[in-house]
């Protein structure tokens, strides 16, 4: 059964978790992870989002 569509409400934070297949590591090198964060912040700014990320807890990001 497919997952129901995500509810997106204006001005309500969205908490996302990025995982690899079978919870494998997504970023093997710190440089790759830092580049991903740079890319994420760049495009979030273009869409009016704010990114709050705990760099000690890879993969968990909150968007406002």
- Six-digit token string for 44: 């979030």
**Whole-number pLDDT of residue 3:** 83
Give the containing element (helix H, strand E) for 20. Answer: none
pTM of the model: 0.59
- Does position 60 have pLDDT exceeding 70, yes or no? no
Could you read off the pLDDT of 15-37 as tens digits, one per residue?
777 778 887 888 888 898 889 88
Contact yes or no for 50/12 (Cβ under 8 A): no
- Six-digit token string for 26: 């997504």
Contact yes or no for 16/63 (Cβ under 8 A): yes
Which range among 7-11, 17-21, 45-49 shows the weakest confidence by mean pLDDT? 17-21
For residues 8 and 29, what is the distance between their CA atoms, to the nearest angstrom? 32
- Does position 8 have pLDDT exceeding 80, yes or no? yes
Phi, psi of 55 (to 5 degrees): -65, -15
* pLDDT > 70 in the chain, percent: 81
């Amino acid at each position: 059964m497919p997952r129901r569509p995500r509810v997106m409400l204006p001005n309500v934070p969205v908490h996302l978790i990025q995982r690899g297949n079978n919870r494998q590591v997504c970023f093997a090198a710190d440089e790759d992870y830092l580049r991903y964060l740079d890319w994420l912040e760049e495009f979030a700014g273009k869409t009016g989002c704010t990114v709050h990320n705990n760099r000690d807890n890879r993969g968990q990001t909150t968007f406002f």
